[in-house]
């Protein structure tokens, strides 16, 4: 009996009272196969859509379930993945992939006829899965309170997910079969790949059955394939399995080993979930995966190799226990394993979210309004909006354009869709640009190796195309009903690149280039030596700052054909090096200054004030000479808000810099010289943020100075964390029986008691206790060192003084 069967009645009963349920079930429990089929057979739901993150898993589950039904695929069990749809009016359980489910929701937000949506292996937390779940939850709350949602995975941060979904948890305990663990310590992390062949061979020698070997990508798979092919026993077949393979090759890898033979399957994390490979009882896990990481600075998504989380390691190990007891060999020590993150980082926190922003706009909302388990950062959202504006998907008010609708319907990456659609529109003006666009996208998608200069790389593929390139090219030429051209219109190449990657137009700066998105990048020293401007297609390397492919940019042609990329800006800046104002009109592409000319406008008060504000935005409040004194006021205002949030608004340096024009601008109208700005008294401007009553209140609860019994007024030093500090000579606080209170005693005051020579004698937050205890020792020492000063026996009741005894 499968583990999921024991909790099946509980799961079904939950749906009687809740429309969302969370299911946690380990690998091999039957949640992806037995469960959805049983829900159909028992008629609990009339039509179910189950999302599978990977096409390979979706196809295999659909085929397996249709066999269980003794029906051809497309009857009770249907499949809908990219370029493969097998469904009918009889379909009751439809297996779909992530992007497909999002498109189904966009086309029919009510999901008519569907009464259950299952999100399988949700722990993978892809951007598409998060998007689809957000839309499904909105459909459930706005249109279909009868729509049921089941979120399930082997490894979930269940408490957090329950809180987000407001739903019950059903847990299925235990694997189908136990999996033992063997760790192989790794002494040099940089040579982990070289350690894999011996680990695989040891696993095959020690264990029976076939093995599944997890590796990050095709490069590592090919390396290990070459290392193992001649070293494994004669009865062992070494095969590969990854997402980019054709369907027939994948099915061969998944099939059980021939009778009397064993199989070693070298795979990526495509086999990590929802996939049973018959005969596998050994898993060899390198502990690595390939992941996409979006570089906000350069706007580039980079593929990097990193350690998997513990939850992913559990998923991988579970492949060994699907059909019999198994074993997992892990590269690395157990201590290294325990130091890994518990869960993988959600894609929404480390990916380009421009596609999600577009989906949200099509859905009719803003990304910030979607019910998302993890919210993208404001910086990521701002970057996405900026890109979508450059792609003409959103207007300057961030509203969806007609072109944006068309790009979404195109069904490919927004950048490439924008390029392909616009080249069609420009064909009459620039003959041959449509075919050039098809060649360019084929070059990007096929990933064939070639020169970094795009014009040369395209010309090579035009004259002697590689098979992989030709396959991609044929698809795009057919889609646009184009014949292969007799020659390439490469004179328009910079237009094509600019349409897809407007944020990567670049201007020479020193030995490298400045991108339109503001990032600095490096180029190969032998390329683009004479070009002031280039159009960059691909970037990567360390921090995404290495140009992999680009071409010279025809700025005049781009300005004529793509005027939407250019903006005019009137700028007034104070040049600190030259000591004068720079007042000019600029033509810009993002951060690139394409053209400048002196401004014809007079340098009036408003323009000058804005220049000062821009300078302060650059330097921060530390720019002012009196900042150290002003900082104490800032700290007091911040503390007041912490202790009395109902009375005081939040005031910190970040918010002050964000609103300089409102609170500081009016005070700078009469500042004409740089030296005047440096000496400006910032404290007076800051105090105006509080009305007269709050200014008095601030002085009462957090005074600048405290009057002590001697008559002196002593300055208080405040800090954001920890107690305030009062440094005062000990004789001046005789007669003071307790430590002064700040914020009605909420903020501690540390008294630093000083000698007559102002050297520290004692630190205390309890003055009364000090008088009764440690003072005697201090008195004994001070009488000998400072005999002319007053050292009473009872300081708590003595007269305070700031004079020597003879003048008291």
The radius of gyration computed from the CA coordinates of the chain, to the nearest angstrom, equals: 35
DSSP per-residue string spanning 545-592 = -EEEEEEE--HHHHHHH-GGG-EEEEEEEEETTTTEEEEEEEEEETTE
Helix (H, G, I), strand (E, B) or coil at 746: coil
Q: Assign domain 179-345 one CATH number from 3.40.109.10, 3.40.50.300, 3.30.1390.10, 3.30.450.70.
A: 3.40.50.300
Question: What mean pLDDT value characterizes the chain?
Answer: 87
Categorize the per-residue pLDDT at 271 as very low, low, confident or very high, splitting at 50, 70 and 90. Answer: low
Exposed / middle / buried, residue 258 (Cβ in 10 Å: 0-12, 13-18, 19+): exposed
DSSP per-residue string spanning 67-94 = HHTTS-TTSSEEEEETTEEE--TT--EE
Categorize the per-residue pLDDT at 244 as very low, low, confident or very high, splitting at 50, 70 and 90. Answer: confident
Average pLDDT, stretch 471-491? 92
**Residue 190 — φ and ψ, nearest 5°?**
-70, -15
Straight-line distance from the first to the last Cα atom of the chain, in angstroms, rounded to the nearest whole number? 96
> pLDDT tens-digit profile of 167-194?
999 988 755 678 889 998 888 888 898 9
Average pLDDT, stretch 484-496? 93
Q: What is the pLDDT of residue 257?
A: 82
The answer to which of 267-281, 540-554, 626-640, 677-691 has the lowest mean pLDDT is: 267-281
Which homologous superfamily is 3-171 in?
Answer: P-loop containing nucleotide triphosphate hydrolases (3.40.50.300)
Q: What is the pLDDT of residue 344?
A: 82
> pLDDT tens-digit profile of 622-649?
778 777 778 888 899 999 999 999 888 8
Let me know: does 164 contact 130? Beta carbons within 8 Å.
no
Average pLDDT, stretch 591-598? 85
Residues 6+ apart with CB under 8 A from 56: 241, 243, 250, 270, 271, 275
Say if residue 652's pLDDT is above 60.
yes
Let me know: does 363 contact 135? Beta carbons within 8 Å.
yes
Provide the H-helix boundaries in 74-209: 98-107, 127-142, 158-165, 192-206
Say if residue 306's pLDDT is above 90.
no
Q: What angle do CA 261, 263, 264 make, to 5 degrees?
A: 150
> pLDDT tens-digit profile of 549-586?
899 999 999 999 999 999 887 776 767 776 667 777 88
The answer to which of 204-218, 476-490, 576-590 has the lowest mean pLDDT is: 576-590
DSSP per-residue string spanning 463-489 = HS--HHHHHHHHHHHHHTT-PPPSS--
DSSP designation for 449 = -
Global pTM reads 0.73
CA distance 487 to 623: 59
Residues 6+ apart with CB under 8 A from 684: 667
CA distance 11 to 7: 6
> pLDDT tens-digit profile of 724-770?
999 999 999 999 999 999 998 899 999 999 999 899 999 999 999 99
Residue scoring higher pLDDT (540 or 265): 265
Helix (H, G, I), strand (E, B) or coil at 720: coil
Residue appearing with tokens 């459930």 = 140
588: tokens are 């810009």
Residue 58's CB is within 10 A of a number of other CB atoms, namely 25
Say if residue 59's pLDDT is above 70.
yes
In the chain, how many H helices and how many E strands?
29, 29
Q: What is the pLDDT of residue 351?
A: 87
Q: What is the pLDDT of residue 661?
A: 79
Residue appearing with tokens 């998608």 = 445
Helix (H, G, I), strand (E, B) or coil at 149: strand
CA distance 56 to 97: 10
Residue 27's CB is within 10 A of a number of other CB atoms, namely 26
Q: What angle do CA 69, 70, 73 make, to 5 degrees?
A: 80
Q: What is the pLDDT of residue 155?
A: 72
Number of residues that make up the chain: 808
Residue burial 116-130, b: 16+ Cβ < 10 Å; e: rest: bbbbbbbbbbbbbbb
282: tokens are 């050994």
CA distance 572 to 256: 72
Q: What is the pLDDT of residue 274?
A: 57
Average pLDDT, stretch 291-297? 81
């Amino acid at each position: 009996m499968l583990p999921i069967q024991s909790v099946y009645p509980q799961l079904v009963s939950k749906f009687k009272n809740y429309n969302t349920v969370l299911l946690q079930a380990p690998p091999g429990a039957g949640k992806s196969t037995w469960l959805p089929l049983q829900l159909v057979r028992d008629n609990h739901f009339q039509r179910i859509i189950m999302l599978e993150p990977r096409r390979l898993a979706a196809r295999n589950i659909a085929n397996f379930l249709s066999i269980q039904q003794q029906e051809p695929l497309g009857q009770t069990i249907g499949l809908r993945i990219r370029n493969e749809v097998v469904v009918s009016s009889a379909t009751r359980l439809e297996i779909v992939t992530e992007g497909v489910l999002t498109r189904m929701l966009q086309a029919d937000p009510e999901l008519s006829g569907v009464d259950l949506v299952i999100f399988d292996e949700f722990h993978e937390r892809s951007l598409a899965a998060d998007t689809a779940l957000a839309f499904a939850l909105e459909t459930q709350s706005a249109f279909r309170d009868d729509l049921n949602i089941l979120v399930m995975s082997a490894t979930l941060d269940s408490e957090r997910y329950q809180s987000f979904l407001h739903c019950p948890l059903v847990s299925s305990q235990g694997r189908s079969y136990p999996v033992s663990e063997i760790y192989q310590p790794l002494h040099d992390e940089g040579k982990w790949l070289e350690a894999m062949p011996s680990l695989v061979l040891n696993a095959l020698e020690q264990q029976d059955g076939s093995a599944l070997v997890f590796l990050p990508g095709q490069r590592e798979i090919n390396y290990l394939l070459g290392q193992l092919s001649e070293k494994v026993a004669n009865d062992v077949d070494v095969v590969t399995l990854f997402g980019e393979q054709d369907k027939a090759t994948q099915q061969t890898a998944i099939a059980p080993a021939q009778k009397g033979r064993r199989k070693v399957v070298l795979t990526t994390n495509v086999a990590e979930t929802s996939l049973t490979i018959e005969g596998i009882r050994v898993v060899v896990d390198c502990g690595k995966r390939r992941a996409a990481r979006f570089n906000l600075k350069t706007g580039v998504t980079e593929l990097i190799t990193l350690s998997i989380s513990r939850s992913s390691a559990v998923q991988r190990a579970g492949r060994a226990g699907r059909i019999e007891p198994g074993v997992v060999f892990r590269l690395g020590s157990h201590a290294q394993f325990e130091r890994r993150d518990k869960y993988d980082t959600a894609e929404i926190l480390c990916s380009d979210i421009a596609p999600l922003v577009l989906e949200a706009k099509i859905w009719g909302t803003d990304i910030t309004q979607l019910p998302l388990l993890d919210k993208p950062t404001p910086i990521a959202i701002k970057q996405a909006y900026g890109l979508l504006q450059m792609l003409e998907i959103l207007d300057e008010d961030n509203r969806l354009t007609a072109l944006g609708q068309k790009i979404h319907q195109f069904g490919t990456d927004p950048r490439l869709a924008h390029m392909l659609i616009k080249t069609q529109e420009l064909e009459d003006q620039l003959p041959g640009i449509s075919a050039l666009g098809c060649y360019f996208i084929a070059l990007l998608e096929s990933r064939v190796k070639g020169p970094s200069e795009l014009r040369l790389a395209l010309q090579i593929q035009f004259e002697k195309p590689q098979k992989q390139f030709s396959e991609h090219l044929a698809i795009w030429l057919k889609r646009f009903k184009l014949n292969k051209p007799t020659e390439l219109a490469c004179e328009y190449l910079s237009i094509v690149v600019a349409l897809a990657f407007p944020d990567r137009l670049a201007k020479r700066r020193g030995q490298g280039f400045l991108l339109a998105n503001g990032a600095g990048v490096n180029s190969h020293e032998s390329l683009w030596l004479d070009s002031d401007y280039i159009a960059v297609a691909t970037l990567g390397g360390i921090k995404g700052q290495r140009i992999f492919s680009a071409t010279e940019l025809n700025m005049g042609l781009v300005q004529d054909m793509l005027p939407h990329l250019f903006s005019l800006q009137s700028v007034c800046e104070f040049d600190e090096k030259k000591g004068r104002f720079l007042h000019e009109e600029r033509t810009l592409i993002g951060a690139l200054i394409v053209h400048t000319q002196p401004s014809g406008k007079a340098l009036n008060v408003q323009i000058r004030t804005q220049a000062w504000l821009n300078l302060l935005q650059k330097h921060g409040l530390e720019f002012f000479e009196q900042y150290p004194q002003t900082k104490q006021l800032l700290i007091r205002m911040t503390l007041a808000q912490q202790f009395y949030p109902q009375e005081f608004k939040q005031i910190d340096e970040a918010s002050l810099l964000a609103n300089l024009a409102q609170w500081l601008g009016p005070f700078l109208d009469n500042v004409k010289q740089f030296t005047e700005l440096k000496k400006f008294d910032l404290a007076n401007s800051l105090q105006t943020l509080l009305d007269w009553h709050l200014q008095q209140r601030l002085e009462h609860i957090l005074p600048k100075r405290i009057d002590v019994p001697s008559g002196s007024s002593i300055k208080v030093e405040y800090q954001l964390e920890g107690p305030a500090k009062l440094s005062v000579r000990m004789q001046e606080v005789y007669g003071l029986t307790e430590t002064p209170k700040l914020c009605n005693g909420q903020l501690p005051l540390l008294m630093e008691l000083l000698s007559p020579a102002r050297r520290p004698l004692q630190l205390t937050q309890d003055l009364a206790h000090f008088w009764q205890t440690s003072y005697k020792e201090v008195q004994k020492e001070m009488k000998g060192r400072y005999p002319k000063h007053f050292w009473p026996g009872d300081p708590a009741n003595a007269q305070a003084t700031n004079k020597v005894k003879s003048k008291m």
